[in-house]
Amino acid sequence: MRRVVATAAAGLLSVAPGVGQQATPFKSRVDLVSLSVNVVDKRGQPISSLAPGDFQIFEGGRLQTIEYFSGEGTPAPELHLGLLLDVSESMGEDLAFTRTAAVKFLNTLTEATDITLVDFDTEVRAARYEQREFARVIERIRSNKARGQTALFDAIGVYLEGAGAQDGRKVMLCYTDGGDTRSVMRLRDVLELVKASDATMYMVGMLDHQSSGSR
């Protein structure tokens, strides 16, 4: 039975420098935290017309300042999708499954403004498509073949670099076996980028072929 593990990481602020060719130290400072809140009454009905003064946010016991606030009456921000596909040689047995799962994911979010597709093996290839170009996205997903090594960290860095320039909601889904064997970027640098991003990121791990120490 195929074992699939999904994890999610929510970022905080759109700050994503480019992915360089050398492993240079990356430093970031996060000053804003984005929170989404749903408020309901005793009957479970949504409460609208709330203002910043109706909320208090504490961190470490200290009251925090609400810098920006938008309520129900604000138009929904644009949705930008990111799809990262590991097409390295180690994904050979799982590639058919991930292709099908990726297409189903895209079909559930048809309101998205655009789709950023990043497929990676030894190299990282990224392209952004508008919703009307959905057929081209599917064609590219189905044309991938498993080969080469795995530049997972670099692929995430490339996606976050592009997402940092987008306004609105950003949702990224990555299918991978989790074993990076090629990237210039280091894990700690990628984690800093994730913390400094306002993208919501989901990692789906195909772990059947990974050792317990790599999972």
Q: Is 10 helix (H, G, I), strand (E, B) or coil?
A: strand
Across 123-140, average pLDDT: 96
Across 33-45, average pLDDT: 80
Across 141-159, average pLDDT: 97
Q: Residue 156 in contact with residue 128, Cβ under 8 Å? A: no
Q: What is the pLDDT of residue 73?
A: 60
183 dihedral zone (left: phi>0; alpha: psi -120 to 50; beta): beta
- The structural domains of the chain, with segments of one domain joined by +, span 4-20+77-214
Across 72-97, average pLDDT: 89
**Whole-number Å distance between alpha carbons of 122 and 120:** 7
Across 15-38, average pLDDT: 52
Task: Determine the topology of domain 4-20+77-214 in CATH.
Answer: Rossmann fold (3.40.50)
Give the predicted TM-score (pTM) of the model: 0.69
Q: What is the pLDDT of residue 26?
A: 43
Q: Residue 108 in contact with residue 126, Cβ under 8 Å? A: no
Name the range with the highest mean pLDDT among 9-23, 60-74, 153-167, 198-212: 153-167
Q: Is 162 helix (H, G, I), strand (E, B) or coil?
A: helix
Checking if the pLDDT of 166 tops 90, the result is yes
**Whole-number Å distance between alpha carbons of 202 and 105:** 12
DSSP string, 64-125: EP------TTSPPPPEEEEEEEE-SGGGGGGHHHHHHHHHHHHHT-TT-SEEEEEEESSSEE
Across 12-21, average pLDDT: 35
Work out the burial of residue 118: count CB atoms within 10 Å of its CB; fewer than 13 is exposed, 13-18 middle, 19 or more buried: buried
Checking if the pLDDT of 208 tops 50, the result is yes
Checking if the pLDDT of 156 tops 80, the result is yes
Residue 82 or residue 14, greater confidence? 82
- Mean pLDDT across the chain, nearest whole number? 83
Least Cα distance to 141 among 107, 108, 96, 89 occurs for 96
Q: What is the pLDDT of residue 146?
A: 96
Cβ contacts of residue 61 below 8 Å, gap of 6+?
A: none
Q: What is the pLDDT of residue 51?
A: 86
Degrees (nearest 5) of the Cα angle 94, 198, 168?
Answer: 100
